[in-house]
Amino acid sequence: MRRELIVSFLLVSALSAYGVISRNVIDFSEYDQRIKLQFEGPEESYITNIDGQPRIVFGYKDFLLESWTVKLNESANLDQNRFQSYCKPVESKRFGTVIGARIHFPTWKNNANALLQPPFPIKIYDDEGRYMNISNGVMPNVSEVRSVSMWISGRNYPYGASVRFRDKNEEYKEFFVGWLNFEGWRKLMYVNPNFSERFNAKILRREPLYPKDVPYLVLDAIIIYRYADQIGGDFVTYIKSIDMEYTPYVVDSDVVEDINDEEVWQIITTRAKRRQKLEEMRLVEDLYLYQQEKYRMQLNKDPIVDK
């Protein structure tokens, strides 16, 4: 099923060869349900250590909207600000489930920003090395971005909003979509000033395909900027979805339909599994600290004193 989804995704790109594709990056009204469908195991994540090598068994609850975090920049990350900054799913009469964020910025004059993001990076590959979370935070086959747009609800605050992605080289790409000095829902948009649909304006070259990874972008964070001369304190906003217009990297349908390179050679799968293993090693410590803090907040007695 997942393989068919990836092939159909690339075929859509192929049919739109040299055209611009418009696709949903993430829709928060569908996000939680799509996350739950990925997991056949436990609700809660946990760490196993059977053979002396800690491994993570992921549960879906740690990826739901209720677990998304607000991460303040270092100078703003004081206890009061951090405790009063968090995300939660909210029901909108217009759009259904959206993600809501409360951010407590410093009240003094100092530049500050807040990152809205899941506690762990959105998974790009499944256990077989195939793409997952397509249009649920992951955008495979992206060559050149023409625009990035976001449905967001403002409250007349003069703050800026950006969408930040991570690419296959672990580099960040940030797109500033606009200002939040308005009331209610608006679709803010970044338009690439260097994008052109004229062939004579482009640098034409052949790009290596398999076994080179197909380029992808994965949602890393939604960023809210508050500048020093702007009001501080509490701020709330709601986000419905993010969309992207782009040109595809793979455009030749023969490449997709004739021979399944990956099925024959397993090069990308092996590479993806190695990358996934390294990512899990990094996440083990993060998950341990994350769970310890959750347990600490749930305790109603002192485990040392109240035995």
Q: How many CA atoms lie within 13 A of 230 on its CB side?
A: 19
- Is residue 247 a contact partner of residue 9, using CB atoms and an 8 Å limit? no
In a domain? residue 20: yes
Residue whose C-alpha is closest to residue 94's, from 22, 151, 33, 23: 151
Residue whose C-alpha is closest to residue 222's, from 268, 177, 264, 184: 177
CATH of the domain at 23: 2.60.120.260
In a domain? residue 54: no
Nearest-angstrom CA–CA distance, 22 and 135: 11
pLDDT: which is higher, 99 or 276 = 99
In a domain? residue 169: yes
Token output for 44: 């809660």
In a domain? residue 135: yes
In a domain? residue 188: yes
- The pLDDT value given to residue 205: 74
In a domain? residue 215: yes
Full residue range of the structural domain in which residue 14 is found: 2-41+62-269
- Is residue 47 a contact partner of residue 54, using CB atoms and an 8 Å limit? yes
148-207 pLDDT, tens digit each: 999 999 999 999 999 999 998 899 999 999 999 999 999 999 999 998 776 655 666 777
In a domain? residue 219: yes
Could you tell me what percent of the chain has a pLDDT over 70? Answer: 85
Token output for 168: 């296959």
Q: How many domains does the chain have?
A: 1
In a domain? residue 304: no
Beta bridge partners of 224: 114, 161
Q: How would you class 266 by CB atoms within 10 Å of its CB: exposed for 0-12, middle for 13-18, buried for 19 or more?
A: middle
263-298 pLDDT, tens digit each: 889 888 888 788 777 777 777 777 777 777 777 766
With vertex at residue 18, the alpha carbon angle to CA 17 and CA 24, rounded to the nearest 5 degrees, is: 75
pTM for the whole structure: 0.84
